[in-house]
Chain A
Amino acid sequence: MTQKMIAQVPRHGLKLTQAADVKQPSIHLAADAVIVGSGAGGAIAAYELAAKGKTVVVLEAGPYVPSEKFTEMLAIAMGTLYQDHGGQSNTEGDISILQGACVGGSTVVNAALCFRTPDYYLQQWAQEFGLTNLTPEVMAPYFDKVEANLHIRQNAPHETSPGAELINAGLKKLGIPPGIAKRNIKECGLTGFCFAGCVSDRKQSMLVTYLPWAVAKGAQLFADTRVTKVLADEGNARGVEAEVVDPATGRKKADLRIDAPIVVLAAGPVQTPLLLLKSGLANSSGQVGKNFACHPTMSLTAEFDKPVDDFHGATHSLYVDKYTLPEEGGYLLLNAVQDPVEASFQVEPGTGKPYVSYMSRYRNTIRLITLIHDKNVGEVGWTDGAKAIRYTVDDADFESMKAGLKTNARVLFAAGAKRIHLPTSHALAIEGPAEIHRVIDGLRNEPSRYRYTSFHPQGTCRMGADPARTVVNPKGETHDVRRLYVVDASLLPTSIGYNPSETVYALAHYIADQINAPQA
């Protein structure tokens, strides 16, 4: 394949091949590198490799949804932009595990909150996983670079929401320092629709940054194209097999084969291990798919006397990370706006009149999320030909959740809440600050008892120096197969307790540099 230089980034949209464009039943291409997935890790790798003159093909299983087609209705966005139409969960069904599944991946639907990887974890990864190459000094220029490229900036004072203002007042009263969100957003429109995709392209997702840049550097992008097998022989990566599927009918339109000496996996922390397991590759350690963590979250919903109207504004405005490191408590608090569809199932006020009365007061409610740093106790794999995410919240992690919920409730009452609803299967509310400990101490770690959401699956192809304990080496290459790389959230050896996108962006840049470096 010859590299086509477009050089100019179009003002809007992406040049790519979709199922509708494919006429022949099989396609066979050759390239220097094939990239599986077009989200955070894949888009960055595509641009960095193409910018160095490599011929690059990016294959994305999800559809191309240009921003003008976004609806600002979460229920519909789930159907078009999310993995399994928003229906992915653990095997118990009590943790909704959200991922984007479209061109641009989760970056299209994420809330754009960015944190550098804390030094604490870089040091822990060096000590426990031999990642002595990822020092804070080595990583700093990578963070600088993505922060510049993705316009990562602290929210301006007007980039807030009515609920965030109340929470901020509560934090002040308690003397808890608020963190002001940094986000990859330019001139935020304050619609509050990050989770449904940004219609006006202010969120600097991969859809409007690294993907058009990669294409301008000659990368070829296929949407509706699911990689089904990674090819390797004699310990070397050789390419991939894929299927182009018509998203309207679900029928296969073509088989695709890409021959490439460099294969970069960026299908995300659920699909990357599934693909490796299916391909029978890179698993001499037996660790592929293991060590799944997901930052489980629970939201408390607070009711106020007056309408707050916390549905437009910055999706995230502030956070509390005073207690985020494991020694401090292991939890992070995040505010987020909420639409009525989501509000309708977040809590159980009681069947019938209590529910009607609660929903009638939707305007008076705000939510505050508790996210925990969790242990890597889960596993992604295949069961009877279907994917299975086996993960239940660990007992010790549940205690962190309880500690987080207590602080969360204190903040909401200090903010002026009259009542706080818990996300339990049964009706459970806290009527005043004096009840916080009694109610939350009564919670038990049980299945189908809570309404959890995970936005951050991770850890399933962990990185490290020891081939017996890890899947990927410190340069991002699998221990077993030369020139087979992983650049997505599967890499994280431990959960980091903070939203991980900037960590993935920086690691993808770092690994792209290793791929581009002269090989021994």
Chain B
Amino acid sequence: MSDLNRKVHEALAQIGRMTRRDFIRFGAAVTSAATLGSLGVANAALAALPEGVHVMTESEHAVFARLLAVMLPTEGSRLVPTTQVPVMQTLDAALLATMPPHLLEGLKGGVKYFDEGPIPRYGKRFTELDDAAAARFCDEWANAPEAPHRALAMGLKKLVGLAYWANPPTWVPLGYDGPVTRKWGLKSLGNAPMPK
């Protein structure tokens, strides 16, 4: 764990575990953001700290928002524009707000470390890189000899991706129809009878 402290390492392990974290709060985040309307969400995303974001700081929000733009450049594709999905609110309420404080502290350290990561090679922070350089940096860290760099590149992208894809409207352009049992009218078989 060369130049990363133990807290950051623990936070990275936690992100690894977040593949399928508690998304109940996604519902709440999506609903509260939906009341803003999609335009409202778009405007909010441009603000320094959009409405509904309480846990991340402005500088952390800048890193996550930049990462979202770099990893999911939806313009020109069929995907729902990231500006129409409450990604930052979902990330904040469903993932960051549920982290134990010491791990959240570690994650915040990891976000800072990631933002400063390009300085030696590119002379700039991640948030200052242009799109092509920022994408290249992510790919370089994903294949770095240092395990923590790989973990950070994988982990932070996973967080941002989950916060986008957990919103059911993002499934529509993929052709995925979500829950079906009620739609298909499948009846419950209930409890099995006691064996003889």
A511 to chain B, nearest CB (A): 18
B96 to chain A, nearest CB (A): 13
* Contact indicator A339/B176 (Cβ below 8 Å): yes
* Contact indicator A355/B14 (Cβ below 8 Å): no
Interface majority SS on A: helix, strand, loop or mixed?
Answer: loop
* Contact indicator B181/A427 (Cβ below 8 Å): no
Instruction: For A96, give the chain B residue with the smallest CB separation.
Output: B19
Check: B165 CB closer than 8 A to any chain A CB: yes
* Contact indicator B138/A89 (Cβ below 8 Å): no
Known A-B contacts A9-B193, A75-B26, A426-B142; the reply to A341 vs B162 at CB < 8 A is: yes
A22 to chain B, nearest CB (A): 23
Q: Which of B32-40, B113-121, B152-160 contacts A (4 or more CB under 8 A)?
A: B152-160
Check: A26 CB closer than 8 A to any chain B CB: no
* Contact indicator A68/B188 (Cβ below 8 Å): yes
* Contact indicator B150/A72 (Cβ below 8 Å): no
B146 to chain A, nearest CB (A): 9
* Contact indicator A189/B186 (Cβ below 8 Å): yes
Cβ < 8 Å to A, chain B residues 37-70: 70
Check: A180 CB closer than 8 A to any chain B CB: no
Count chain A residues whose beta carbon lies closer than 8 angstroms to a beta carbon of B.
Answer: 78
Check: B161 CB closer than 8 A to any chain A CB: yes
Which 3 A-B pairs have CB atoms at the shortest separation, nearest pair first? A93-B16, A93-B13, A86-B20
Check: A163 CB closer than 8 A to any chain B CB: no
* Contact indicator A216/B194 (Cβ below 8 Å): yes
B contacts, CB < 8 Å to A: 12-27, 70-74, 77-79, 98, 131, 134-136, 138-139, 142-143, 147-148, 150-151, 153-155, 157-158, 161-162, 164-166, 168, 170-171, 173-176, 178-182, 184, 186-195
* Contact indicator B195/A149 (Cβ below 8 Å): yes
Report Cα–Cα, A449/B148, bound state, in Å. Answer: 10
* Contact indicator A191/B165 (Cβ below 8 Å): no
Cβ < 8 Å to B, chain A residues 438-468: 446-449, 451, 453
Q: Which of A198-206, A268-276, A367-375, A396-404 contacts B (4 or more CB under 8 A)?
A: A198-206
B139 to chain A, nearest CB (A): 5
Interface majority SS on B: helix, strand, loop or mixed?
Answer: helix
Contacts of B158 in A (CB 8 A): 345
Contacts of A359 in B (CB 8 A): 79, 174
Contacts of B190 in A (CB 8 A): 11-12, 201, 208
Contacts of B157 in A (CB 8 A): 351
B29 to chain A, nearest CB (A): 12
Contacts of B77 in A (CB 8 A): 356-357, 360
Contact among A72, A86, A352 with B181 in the assembled complex (CB-CB below 8 Å): A72
Contacts of B18 in A (CB 8 A): 87
Report Cα–Cα, A467/B118, bound state, in Å. Answer: 56
* Contact indicator B20/A449 (Cβ below 8 Å): no
Report Cα–Cα, A356/B14, bound state, in Å. Answer: 26
Report Cα–Cα, A422/B189, bound state, in Å. Answer: 39
A453 to chain B, nearest CB (A): 8
Cβ < 8 Å to B, chain A residues 9-45: 9-13
A310-339 CB contact bits vs B (8 Å, 1 = yes)? 011000000000000000000000000001
* Contact indicator A202/B189 (Cβ below 8 Å): yes
Which of B74, B178, B187, B188 has the largest count of A CB atoms less than 10 A from its CB?
B188
Check: A478 CB closer than 8 A to any chain B CB: no
Instruction: For A149, give the chain B residue with the smallest CB separation.
Output: B195
* Contact indicator A425/B20 (Cβ below 8 Å): no
* Contact indicator B20/A74 (Cβ below 8 Å): yes
Check: A92 CB closer than 8 A to any chain B CB: yes
